[in-house]
Amino acid sequence: MITSLRNPRIAGVRRLRRTRERKVKGRTPVEGPFLLEEAIRAGVIIHEVYAAPDDATTAATCERIGIEQTLVSNEVLASLASSVSPRGPVAVVSVPASAAIRPMDSIVMWDVSDPGNAGTIIRSAAAFGFQVIATAGCVDLWSPKVVRAGVGGHFRTPLVDTTELSPQVLMGAGLRAFVAAAGSSTSPTEMVETVGPVAIIVGNEAHGVPEAVREGSGAVPISLTMPGGTESLNVGVAASILMYLRTGE
Amino acid sequence: MITSLRNPRIAGVRRLRRTRERKVKGRTPVEGPFLLEEAIRAGVIIHEVYAAPDDATTAATCERIGIEQTLVSNEVLASLASSVSPRGPVAVVSVPASAAIRPMDSIVMWDVSDPGNAGTIIRSAAAFGFQVIATAGCVDLWSPKVVRAGVGGHFRTPLVDTTELSPQVLMGAGLRAFVAAAGSSTSPTEMVETVGPVAIIVGNEAHGVPEAVREGSGAVPISLTMPGGTESLNVGVAASILMYLRTGE
C-alpha cells in the first residue's frame, strides 16, 4: 500500500491536474465508482486504479476487468482527488481521441471557460442525444472538474475538440448553424423545426459568442423569451433549454 | 488606505464568509460593480464599500449613494473576495429578510447543497419571473458563492427561506405542488397548463427529493423526456427547463 504523498507514481497522477500534462500524456484522472464504471462501459483504456484498502467495490471492479488495483492510504487518495471528500477510486484513463464532426444535432461551446458549465453542457448533451463540439478556447473538456460535472456524459456522447471552427465549417459538415444571442428577436422556433441536424452555438460566460460568428456568417441568432425581464441565464442553462426544445417534447 | 491583512475591519469582512457569522450579523459581502449596482437598485442597505484606490467607478458610485468608501490595497481587496481575480469593490450589505410565500409561480429548492446550482436556480427564477423558496437544508442563499452565481437574481425576485416546508404548506399558500422526479412517467404538461400558481420542487444533487415529499403528499411527480436515455440532468438545468416550460414560450 502506498502511504507516502511523495511517491513518484502518486506525484505523477497529481500532475495530471495540469492541462499541459494531460495533453502530453494523453491521460486524465477519473474519480469515483460511477465514472469508473462509465469509462469501462465506453471501452476507454484504464491504465491505473488507486483505491482505499477497505474499498471492496473497486476491488471487485478491478478483478472483473482484469486490472491490478493499487492500494493507497486515505490521505494519499484525498491528495489525488479534486473533490473535497473523495469516496471512491481514482483511475487514470486514456483521453479518447476527438471525434470528427458527424451530421447530428450538436451543441457548440464557443470558448466556454468555466469547468462546471462545460461539464453541465456535456451532461445535458448526453441526456438529449446531442454531439458536443468545443473550440480551442474552451476549458479542457477532460479536466477533472469538467469530467466530474459531466457525470458520465463524456462517455456517452461524441466530443469534438477543434482548433479551427466557424459557422462555415459547421455548415460544410451538414449542420444548420444557430447562435444563442441574448436579446436577439428571433425565437427558437425555426431551430426547433429545422429538418436535418442543427448546431446550436453558445458562447463564453463573459463575452458571449464573437461578433464575427454572430453577424454575417449565415448562422441564425436565436434567444429565449424571459418574462422576468433580465437577459441573463447561465450558459449551461441556456444551452440545455435550447437542446431540450429541439428534442420536441 | 488599509494595507494590512490583519486590520480588524478587514478580518471582520473575511469572517462573513462563514454561514454562522452571516446569520449572526445579518450581513453578507457582495462582490463586483454589477452586484453592487443591483443591490443599490433593490434598496438593500449598503454598510461598507471596500475598493482599490484606482477604482474610479466605485468612487463615483459611493458619491452618488452618499456612502464613504474605504480604500484598500489590491492585496487586501483580493483577501476579501471569493473570486480569484477580483476587479471591483467588495461591499457589505444587509441580508434582506426572508419574504413570506406569495401566491405566484415558485421554484422550491429542497436541500440543494451546491452553491453554483443554488445561484443558477435563483438567476433563472429571476429571468423567468419565479419566486424562490428554499428549505433549511439548502446551502445559505446569501453565501458569497451563491450570490455570485445568482448574477443579481437575489435582488430581482422574492426569496423565501423556510425552516418548515411541506407540499401541504405550499398548497396552503395557494400553490399547486409538482415534484421533479427523474423517471416518473408524467410529462410536465399538467404543470404547464395549471391555472393559478404552481410550485415546482427540485431536490438535493445526490438524494433528490425525499420520498415523503414525492409520494402521498399530493404533489404531482413530473419528469423531462430524455432521448439520450440517461436520466441525469444537473438540478439547476432541470429546474430552469421546467420554469421555462411554465412561461409558455
A-B CB pairs within 8 A amount to: 107
Q: What is the mean pLDDT of residues B16-34?
A: 95
Summarised one tens digit per residue, pLDDT across range B193-203 is 999 999 999 99
pTM beyond cutoff 0.80: yes
First vs last C-alpha separation in chain A: 52
CA-to-CA distance for B145 and B83, rounded, in angstroms?
A: 8
Residue B31 has pLDDT above 90, yes or no: yes
Summarised one tens digit per residue, pLDDT across range A181-238 is 877 778 899 999 999 999 999 999 988 899 888 887 889 999 887 776 666 899 999 9
- What's the whole-number average pLDDT of chain B? 92
pLDDT at A187: 86
In the numeric block, which cell numbers belong to residue A154?
A: 463524456
Could you tell me the pLDDT band of residue B217, with boundaries at 50, 70 and 90? confident
Residue A54 has pLDDT above 80, yes or no: yes
ipTM metric: 0.91
Q: What is the mean pLDDT of residues A99-122?
A: 96
Q: Which chain B residues are Cβ-neighbours of A247 within 8 angstroms?
A: 225-227
Please give the full DSSP string across chain A, using - where no structure is assigned. -B--TT-HHHHHHHHTTSHHHHHHHTEEEEESHHHHHHHHHTTPPEEEEEE-TT-HHHHHHHHHHT---EEB-HHHHHHH-SSSS--S-EEEEEPPPPPPPPSS-EEEESS---HHHHHHHHHHHHHHT-EEEEETTSPPTTSHHHHHHHTTGGGTS-EEEESS--HHHHHHTT-EEEEE-TT-S--THHHHH-SS-EEEEE-BTTTBS-HHHHSSSSPEEE----TTS-----HHHHHHHHHHHHTT-
First vs last C-alpha separation in chain B: 52
Residue B213 has pLDDT above 70, yes or no: yes
Residue B83 has pLDDT above 80, yes or no: no
**Least reliable range by pLDDT among A176-185, A238-247, B8-17:** A176-185
Interface test with A, best of B131, B191, B237 (most A CBs within 10 A): B237
Nearest neighbour of A236 by CB, restricted to B156, B157, B234? B234
Max distance between CA atoms of chain B, in angstroms, equals 62
Summarised one tens digit per residue, pLDDT across range B85-126 is 667 899 999 999 998 999 999 999 999 999 999 999 999 999
Inter-chain residue contact B230 with A152, CB threshold 8 Å: yes
pLDDT at A2: 96
Nearest neighbour of B227 by CB, restricted to A187, A237, A247? A247
Q: Kindly state whether A104 is in contact with chain B, defined as any CB-CB distance less than 8 angstroms.
A: no
Inter-chain residue contact B225 with A249, CB threshold 8 Å: yes
Task: Please check whether residue B198 is in contact with residue B232, taking contact to mean a CB–CB distance below 8 angstroms.
Answer: no
Residues 123-142 of A with CB under 8 A from B: 123-130
Summarised one tens digit per residue, pLDDT across range B162-178 is 988 998 999 999 999 99
Nearest neighbour of A126 by CB, restricted to B128, B228, B237? B228
CA-to-CA distance for B135 and B178, rounded, in angstroms?
A: 16
Question: Residue B100 is inside which H or E element, if any?
Answer: none
Quick one: angle between helices A235-246 and B235-247, nearest 10?
60
Q: Which chain A residues are Cβ-neighbours of B229 within 8 angstroms?
A: 129
pLDDT at B228: 65
- The residue that leads in pLDDT, A83 or A71, is A71
